[in-house]
Amino acid sequence: MARKKIALVGAGNIGGTLAHLIGLKELGDVVMFDVFPGVASGKALDIMQSGPVDGFDSHMVGSGDYAAIAGADVVIVTAGFPRMPGMSRDDLVSKNAGVIAQVAEGIKNNCPDAFVIVITNPLDAMVWVMQQKSGLPPEKVVGMAGVLDSSRFRLFLAQEFNVSVEDVTAFVLGGHGDTMVPLTRYSTVAGIPVPDLVKMGWTTQEKIDAIVARTANGGGEIVKLLEKGSAFYAPAASAIAMAEAYLKDKKRVLPAAAHLNGQYGIKDLYVGVPVVIGAGGVERVVEVQFTPEEEAAFKKSVASVEELIAASKKLVG
Ligand code: TXD
């Protein structure tokens, strides 16, 4: 069986990390596309040169020509401008909507059968633009944010309880970032829900509230520390988990920005919800029942996604 082909559109910090992880996990061959093809080619060659040391054979090339992504099985899109200190994700909308519309055209013309994972911010709006402009089936276009948000939440919970991150599950919904909705009653340590752990005296509600706030601001915390650019190791790892679920038909249940068509009472919006990812792309949207409080938080989050999408519509038509 021939190796899978994975196209990375955007060869910046996340793009480079994605390529490295694809090599280490032997997920397939890589084409890195960037408006700076030299950067894409340099990173591809550098990473391929680590193959003999780490024992992987993935072939990697860089390019500035969309023809290079022809026939890709998976496309992961990070092209665009990152958030700088003081900038909100929303400030990025005007800059990145045009970039995503261009990338969508490239995908439509060269690999319309691919599974497309969008990472570029503001995520929930950019993934919507990608689906609209590429015309790909909605189940083949998803946005990565929830895996990252829940990974951050899991880390902070594991640190609070002094247990392995492996035994902590977390459940987040809604838009990426400030309006993210963590469902603590579905977040567990080895199956024990967080509210029960509060009752068991493992922590306090105040501490959980602080962890939730830190998680929602997780991207901003890193932007502030880095001073230029935004997080890239954990975002790349998160997108790889989604790509792997598709390529290996794992049917993993992961939170992702998915196209809703009636689920949760929402039509034609991309919102972060738990989905099943397998060979069919997004094979199922998991609909949970909300408490009134959760419902209010989810609605607020959806309203902010709606605003971003309305702004994108004006920009790219
Ligand atoms: O959870 C999430 N979804 C995110 C999103 C978490 C972290 C970062 N997130 C966003 O990902 C971030 O706000 C950015 O919008 C993207 C990419 O982040 P990265 O850190 O990789 O940004 P870089 O290093 O600036 O890389 C972007 C690359 C860079 O090499 C540009 O030359 C290229 O994109 N670029 C383009 N490539 C192709 N085509 C076009 N038009 C283009 N414009 C810029």
* Minimum mean pLDDT range among 71-75, 135-139, 155-159, 313-317: 313-317
Residue 15 in contact with ligand 1 by CB distance below 6 A: yes
Q: What is the pLDDT of residues 154-163, one digit of tens each?
A: 999 999 999 9
Residue 214 annotated as binding site: no
To test the pocket of ligand 1, the residue of 8, 14, 84, 87 to mutate (highest count of ligand atoms within 8 Å of its CB) is 14
pLDDT band at 89 (very low <50, low <70, confident <90, very high): low
Q: What is the pLDDT of residues 124-174, one digit of tens each?
A: 999 999 999 999 999 999 999 999 999 999 999 999 999 999 999 999 999
Considering Cα of 24, then 79, then 180, then 296, what sign does the dihedral take? negative
Where in the sequence is the domain holding 38, given as residue range(s)?
5-144
Give me the residues paired with residue 255 across strands. Answer: 274
Residue 96 annotated as binding site: yes
Strands (E), the chain: 5-9, 29-33, 60-63, 74-77, 115-118, 141-143, 168-169, 172-173, 181-182, 188-189, 192-193, 252-261, 267-278, 281-285
> Does 280 share its domain with 150?
yes
> Does 31 share its domain with 78?
yes
Of 144, 170, 198, the one marking the end of a domain is 144
pLDDT over 70 percentage in the chain? 98
Of 144, 173, 203, the one marking the end of a domain is 144
176 has catalytic annotation: yes
> Does 267 share its domain with 294?
yes
240 is written with which tokens? 């790889």
> Does 11 share its domain with 119?
yes
> Does 124 share its domain with 111?
yes
pTM of the model: 0.97
Of 196 and 92, the structure prediction assigns the larger pLDDT to 196
Nearest atom of ligand 1 to the alpha carbon of 231: 7
Residue 119 in contact with ligand 1 by CB distance below 6 A: yes
- Mean pLDDT on 237-257: 98
> Does 80 share its domain with 216?
no
> Does 129 share its domain with 21?
yes
Domains contained in the chain, number: 2
| CATH for 285 | 3.90.110.10
Confidence (pLDDT) at 84: 66
> Does 126 share its domain with 60?
yes
Q: Which member of 20, 59, 176, 259 is catalytic?
A: 176
Is 117 within 8 Å of 107 (Cβ atoms)?
A: no
Of 144, 164, 195, the one marking the end of a domain is 144
| CATH for 122 | 3.40.50.720
Give me the residues paired with residue 252 across strands. Answer: 277
Residue 252 annotated as binding site: no
Q: What is the pLDDT of residues 286-300, one digit of tens each?
A: 999 999 999 999 999
> Does 153 share its domain with 77?
no
Residue 152 annotated as binding site: yes
> Does 211 share its domain with 301?
yes
> Does 166 share its domain with 120?
no
The C-alpha atoms of residue 57 and residue 29 are separated, in whole angstroms, by 8
Is 239 within 8 Å of 117 (Cβ atoms)?
A: yes
CA separation, residue 36 to residues 71, 142, 210 (Å): 22, 25, 41
Residue 34 in contact with ligand 1 by CB distance below 6 A: yes
Nearest atom of ligand 1 to the alpha carbon of 83: 13
Expressed in angstroms and rounded, the spacing between residue 34 Cα and the centre of ligand 1 is: 10
Q: What is the pLDDT of residues 277-289, one digit of tens each?
A: 999 999 999 999 9
Q: What is the pLDDT of residues 90-123, one digit of tens each?
A: 678 888 999 999 999 999 999 999 999 999 999 9
> Does 170 share its domain with 259?
yes
The C-alpha atoms of residue 109 and residue 195 are separated, in whole angstroms, by 49
ipTM of predicted complex: 0.99
Angle at 266 between CA 265 and CA 269, to 5 degrees: 170
